[in-house]
Amino acid sequence: MRPTVVPSSHPVFRATPFGVVAVLWAPGRDGAEVCRLWLPRPERLAREAVAAVCPGVPAAGCAAISALLDQVEALLNGAAVSFTLGGLRLDRCSAFQQRILRATHAIPRGRVSTYRLLARQAGAPGGARAAGMALAANPFPLVIPCHRVVRSGGALGGYGGGAAMKRALLALEGMPFRDAAHVLCGPEFGGNPARPPPHSEDSLEAGLNTGRLPFEFTL
């Protein structure tokens, strides 16, 4: 992604149940443009992250950014929220990252996809690691719900806000879990009650593709 700070950009902060989130925005030709959104991280607060990127830039908001932060706060309180891509500076991302981010944006609440399936959808079969890197650098978390992407075996994988926040977000959205670190793919959802299903990449993703499991990859 290109440098975050653009001329006339300003940060805005909002307290949420998970901590303070921050949005960096700038006036654009068609209204406010979102340059980046920061989550609270276990090792670094959003305010500290903003100060490192744009030191001394005063906070300032506008109606459109306040409305966006209202949606973010509602989502973090457990509400079902649908975000649009309008106003996001996706043009500052590479073409591949844009494809990954757009595919991720289409994953509905209460469902997950995998890094490998996203890579395949973006035209890069075998590019799961590249898809993971694209999402690790997601400049618009929550708006583009990278918390809904897991590893092929059902493991949660990484998240900018930390593993605990990723799990909590998925739980708020109704995803079941096999254990603390894996989303559930088990007999309750179409498997054999007498034998726990395998958790290999192929078995999980076959379920994703056929709809037998409580996961979807929807575009």
Confirm if 104 and 96 have CB atoms less than 8 A apart. Answer: no
User: Per-domain residue ranges for the chain?
Assistant: 10-90, 107-210
Measured between alpha carbons, how far is 89 from 94 in angstroms, rounded to an integer? 11
Strand runs labelled E in 44-196: 113-114, 149-150, 177-179, 182-183
Confidence class for position 189, pLDDT limits 50, 70, 90: very low
Catalytic, 146? Answer yes
**Tens digits of residue pLDDT in 127-175:** 999 999 999 999 999 999 999 999 988 999 999 999 999 999 999 999 9
Q: How many CB atoms lie within 10 A of CB 131?
A: 27
pLDDT at 204: 53
Could you say which of 35, 54, 93, 146 is catalytic?
Answer: 146
Main-chain phi, psi angles of 8, to 5 degrees = 65, 20
Confirm if 51 and 24 have CB atoms less than 8 A apart. Answer: no
Measured between alpha carbons, how far is 75 from 81 in angstroms, rounded to an integer? 6
Confirm if 156 and 183 have CB atoms less than 8 A apart. Answer: yes
Q: Give the residue among 30, 28, 21 at the shortest CA–CA distance from 7.
A: 28
Measured between alpha carbons, how far is 207 from 215 in angstroms, rounded to an integer? 8
Q: Give the residue among 167, 191, 187, 166 at the shortest CA–CA distance from 177.
A: 167
Confidence class for position 124, pLDDT limits 50, 70, 90: very high
pLDDT (average), residues 67-86: 97
Q: Is the pLDDT of residue 1 over 80?
A: no
Give pTM, 2 decimals.
0.83
- The SS3 assignment for 98 reads helix
What percent of the chain is modeled with pLDDT above 70? 81
Write down the mean pLDDT value for the chain: 85
Q: Which CATH class is domain 107-210?
A: mainly alpha
Task: List, in order, residues 6 or more apart from 147 with CB less than 8 Å away.
Answer: 141, 159, 161, 165, 166, 169, 170
Confidence class for position 86, pLDDT limits 50, 70, 90: very high
Main-chain phi, psi angles of 182, to 5 degrees = -135, 135
**Tens digits of residue pLDDT in 87-109:** 999 999 999 999 999 999 999 99
